[in-house]
Chains A and B, each alone.
Chain A
Amino acid sequence: MPPDAIRLHEFPGGVHPPEHKSESSETPIAALPLPELLSLPLTARSGPTTPLVEVGETVRKGQLIAEGKGAISVHLHAPTSGTVEGIRELPLPHPSGLTGPCLLLRADGEETWEKLPPLDWRTEARQILLDRIQDAGIAGLGGASFPSHIKLAITAPVDTLIINAAECEPYITCDDRLMRERAAEIIEGTVIAKTVLGCERVILGIEDNKPAAIDAMREAIDTAEVTVEIAVVPTKYPSGGEKQLIQILTGQEVPSGKLPVDMGIVMQNVGTLYAIKRAIVDGEPLISRVVTVTGEAIDRPGNYEVLLGTPFSHLLEETGAGTYSQLIMGGPMMGFELEDPAMPVIKATNCLLAPAPGELPRQGVELPCIRCGACANVCPASLLPQQLYWFARAGEFDKAEEHRLMDCIECGACAYVCPSDIPLVHYYRYAKSEIRTRFLDRLKADHAKERFDARNQRLERLKQERKERHKKAQEARLKQARDKGELDEKKASIEAALKRVEAKKARQQDPASPAPGADKES
């Protein structure tokens, strides 16, 4: 085994919010009683799915119930056996607050499985493994929910796989617990991912506040006799951000607008690697995940193995929730507030945070920016948050872009320290969505203009062709008349022909006059 000799680098800025990890990290991952009714959103973050089952149909646990259709959508499987009760438009657990179709599944309590056949990753072809990862509906469990089969199917040369085990958000401990309890399986998933990627190097990036997990992982790595470099990184938020962890471990930055894979790096979260192992070795699709349920309002905080589709209210009931000030999916820095506890757990749910009133300071009155620069000092992307804020506020989106707004990772460090209590990230999200909308509008406008120009050209061409045709016909008739030598009738004939032509012209030109914007042809 190589010594832990990775040279670590530092990223600028960052904050040290109170960790609040021990509340949930000291008890083993526990199962929850089966919820009666599960709700499975058919529009995941990554894209829509098409249901494959009928209302009233009985499904088995693990059965494919909806197929990913879009370029980056993932399959959905029944988390338990039961009956499809319907498909209803319900609010989705998403910061946008949108609604979407959800498949309602009434559990029958039988838990009859329908597994996929186990695969031996040592012998199977790469494509078979990739197909299985797709068939098992695996998406990144770190929060971004990007489909794993696409991330791993990359054909560009990859030399490093980074296991993201930093888990830098306060309160969240699901990866920590998973590593402590299931390190061997995570490592097996890692080896599978490494095989599929065909890369040389594997680095485990983990924050130094998880000594037990570090020990467990080290032991699993030694037992499995694989080469994984363990990089214990200092605890600092947001070291678990993809770009920041890459900077810490390699000293390199992901170029703006590019992806880590462009630098030969693929990053996977520990939960995802665990799911990959289950899918391939055990034939189990992704139907559950470990969720940290925590916050002072929770009587029995801890980590729970939760079926996808389980309503948050079920989690609250089963963990003995008291009065909470708000419900947050994710952590306090980047999570979002849930409007309705009836919303379900999805693949991206790593944490349900139910703080007691007063536990987390709520957004107060927004005061004017005093340009103190505290925000710039903590920004891990070296942006000037206060300037971005001025531009976003003033609607000067071009300036905001010029000041690299699009490189903001929305980590919230700036708003965390702002003495004027300005919801900075909120302004950035708004400005970013404006910039995206404008870009799309521009695209559409360009597109429409192209189509309009093409249509005009086409009409012009048709007109020319028609003219040509008429001229030819006229000439032909003249020639005919000349040939016949009927000179007397010639004049009359020409006149008649001209009249016909004119009449026809008038008939044809009228409906053909171009009407901008009314183009329905193309």
Chain B
Amino acid sequence: MPLQSSPHTQDRMPVSRLMQWVLLATLPGALALFVFFGWGVLINLLLCAGFALAFEALILWLRDRPIKATLLDYSALVTAVLLGLSLPPLLPWWMTILGIGFAIVFAKHLFGGLGFNPFNPAMVGYVLLLISFPAQMTAWLPPQSLAANPASLWETLHFIFTGSGPAGETIEQIRAGLDGFTMATPLDHFKTNQGLGFRTEEILDSPVYGGLAGVGWQWVNLGFLAGGLLLAFKKIISWRISLAMLIGITVMAALLWGVDTDAFASPLLHLLSGATMLGAFFIATDPITAATTRKGRWIFGLGIGALTILIRTFGGYPDAVAFAVLLFNMAVPTIDYYTRPRVYGHQKSGHKKAGHKKFGEKS
């Protein structure tokens, strides 16, 4: 047995266990999605999970890497679940597979695999689909309670695998609300009507809103918040990033709202809509693609939050967490470089090169 270098003891949570905790923590939010949006959520998750493992195994085999050990680190499953939870419930099966394939093969393995990928793979897959198929990717169902024709398991399967219902229904029919109109997500609805010149008050009159924010969506967000708090409490994710992102969202939304309550959505609506909580606790906190320094994590989170609101409000897509995360993923090396902590025995913080002396140089 080769001699081992110190330390000879450890107290760590192995990567696989970290990932298992993340999976576990998605349960409340996933359950809420399932309750409000039906079987499609489950089918998307299963499709993503199955194909993520298959793609991962294939690529590992091609790269001549240990297959079983890597599959058991659960990282591919986490990517699958995060993407699966972000997809609209009736997305055609091949789009789902394309998304997860792109996430695993390109976003993860072409960069060198786990630990080497600069971008969050699930978000890369998501954005690829969103840009390529904007219509399908924004075609969310109304919450079951508001739907005129809630899709049964059989109908859902039919839609996902054939593109239409068992009796030839179109997706628009399934998306109809009780009032007969096609229903959008709370953010989408807000954006569209804002564009049409409606005032906030009038927009919020729609049945998609109710309670704290959007019907269904508020519970989904609260579910992810609950799971996220568990992860933060277990120190599995960096609470700084999550908190910073929520602060970024709140502050930016409040600023706009303060300027004109009639034209913009309230911070609360933003906090409990779309991918806010999923993003704050499960996506921005992906350690591999996030900033690593303490200060850097604050900047990273604040930036994502603020940018999310800006794109949601002024951009072309109703939600923006994925774009904001990817943009800040890109900024991570710079953020990390300029936020290095001051090292013991040094006057200046790390990035100020003035204090840097080579080993052996006289001071």
Report which A residues bind B (CB closer than 8 A): 11, 15, 17, 97, 170, 243, 247, 253-258, 326, 328, 330, 332-337, 339, 353, 355, 360-363, 365, 367-374, 376, 380-384, 386-387, 401-404, 406-407, 410, 412, 415-421, 423, 425-426, 429, 435-436, 439, 443
- Which chain A positions have C-beta within 8 A of B9? 17, 170, 332-333, 360-361, 416
- Which chain A positions have C-beta within 8 A of B131? none
Complex Cα gap A429–B301 (Å): 34
Complex Cα gap A54–B242 (Å): 72
The answer to whether B7 touches A382, judged by C-beta atoms less than 8 angstroms apart, is no
Interface-centre pick from B1, B3, B9, B14 (highest chain A CB count, 10 A):
B9
Report the minimal beta-carbon distance from B3 to chain A, rounded to whole angstroms: 4
Complex Cα gap A410–B7 (Å): 9
The answer to whether A426 touches B292, judged by C-beta atoms less than 8 angstroms apart, is no
The answer to whether A326 touches B344, judged by C-beta atoms less than 8 angstroms apart, is no
- Asked if B6 is at the interface of the complex by the 8 Å CB criterion, the answer is yes
Q: What string of 1s and 0s marks CB contacts (under 8 Å) between B79-123 and chain A?
A: 000000000000000000000000000000000011110000000
Complex Cα gap A429–B15 (Å): 25
Q: A339-B3, A425-B5 are in contact. Are A384 and B341 (CB under 8 A)?
A: yes
The answer to whether A253 touches B344, judged by C-beta atoms less than 8 angstroms apart, is yes
- Which chain B positions have C-beta within 8 A of A421? 10, 12, 14
The answer to whether B113 touches A368, judged by C-beta atoms less than 8 angstroms apart, is yes
- Tell me the B327-363 residues at the A interface (CB within 8 Å): 336, 340-347, 350, 353, 356-360, 363
Complex Cα gap A247–B344 (Å): 9
Complex Cα gap A436–B358 (Å): 10
Complex Cα gap A443–B361 (Å): 11
The answer to whether B15 touches A419, judged by C-beta atoms less than 8 angstroms apart, is yes
The answer to whether A333 touches B6, judged by C-beta atoms less than 8 angstroms apart, is yes
B115 nearest CB neighbor, chain A only: A368
Q: What string of 1s and 0s marks CB contacts (under 8 Å) between B1-37 and chain A?
A: 1011111111111110110000000000000000000
- Which chain B positions have C-beta within 8 A of A362? 4, 8
The answer to whether A334 touches B6, judged by C-beta atoms less than 8 angstroms apart, is yes
Report the minimal beta-carbon distance from A268 to chain B, rounded to whole angstroms: 21
- Asked if B50 is at the interface of the complex by the 8 Å CB criterion, the answer is no
Complex Cα gap A60–B349 (Å): 57
The answer to whether A365 touches B69, judged by C-beta atoms less than 8 angstroms apart, is yes
- Asked if B238 is at the interface of the complex by the 8 Å CB criterion, the answer is yes
Q: A435-B359, A436-B359 are in contact. Are A429 and B5 (CB under 8 A)?
A: yes
Complex Cα gap A365–B66 (Å): 12
- Which chain A positions have C-beta within 8 A of B360? 439, 443
Cβ 8 A contact of A257, one of B5, B6, B69, B363: B363
Q: A407-B345, A419-B18, A420-B15 are in contact. Are A425 and B359 (CB under 8 A)?
A: no
- Asked if B73 is at the interface of the complex by the 8 Å CB criterion, the answer is yes
Cβ 8 A contact of B10, one of A337, A361, A381: A361
A-B contact pairs, 29 of them (CB 8 A): A97-B3, A170-B9, A257-B363, A326-B4, A328-B8, A332-B9, A335-B6, A360-B8, A361-B10, A365-B69, A368-B114, A370-B114, A370-B115, A371-B290, A376-B293, A380-B344, A382-B343, A382-B344, A384-B293, A387-B292, A401-B356, A401-B359, A402-B356, A406-B359, A407-B343, A416-B7, A416-B11, A419-B13, A419-B15
Main secondary structure of the interface of B (DSSP, over half): loop
Complex Cα gap A401–B353 (Å): 11
The answer to whether A373 touches B292, judged by C-beta atoms less than 8 angstroms apart, is yes
Q: A333-B9, A419-B14, A420-B15 are in contact. Are A369 and B343 (CB under 8 A)?
A: no
- Which chain A positions have C-beta within 8 A of B1? 326
Complex Cα gap A332–B5 (Å): 10
Complex Cα gap A337–B2 (Å): 10
The answer to whether A256 touches B346, judged by C-beta atoms less than 8 angstroms apart, is yes
- Which chain A positions have C-beta within 8 A of B115? 367-371, 420
Complex Cα gap A227–B344 (Å): 30
Complex Cα gap A376–B361 (Å): 27
- Which chain B positions have C-beta within 8 A of A253? 344-345
Complex Cα gap A408–B292 (Å): 18
A332-B6, A367-B15, A372-B18 given; 14 more Cβ-contact pairs under 8 Å = A243-B345, A256-B344, A335-B6, A360-B8, A361-B10, A367-B114, A368-B116, A384-B341, A406-B359, A416-B7, A419-B12, A423-B4, A426-B5, A435-B359
Cβ 8 A contact of B7, one of A387, A401, A425: A425
Q: What string of 1s and 0s marks CB contacts (under 8 Å) between B269-309 and chain A?
A: 00000000000000000011010111001000000000000
B116 nearest CB neighbor, chain A only: A368
Complex Cα gap A369–B113 (Å): 11
Q: In the A-B complex, list the 8 residue pairs whose CB atoms are closest, starting with the nearest.
A: A368-B115, A412-B7, A256-B345, A426-B5, A332-B9, A381-B344, A372-B287, A404-B343
- Which chain B positions have C-beta within 8 A of A370? 15, 18, 114-115, 287-288
A328 nearest CB neighbor, chain B only: B8
- Which chain A positions have C-beta within 8 A of B342? 382
The answer to whether A332 touches B341, judged by C-beta atoms less than 8 angstroms apart, is no
Report the minimal beta-carbon distance from A406 to chain B, rounded to whole angstroms: 5
Complex Cα gap A369–B7 (Å): 18
Complex Cα gap A435–B358 (Å): 9
Report the minimal beta-carbon distance from B346 to chain A, rounded to whole angstroms: 5
Q: A423-B5, A439-B358 are in contact. Are A373 and B10 (CB under 8 A)?
A: no
Complex Cα gap A258–B115 (Å): 37
- Which chain B positions have C-beta within 8 A of A328? 8
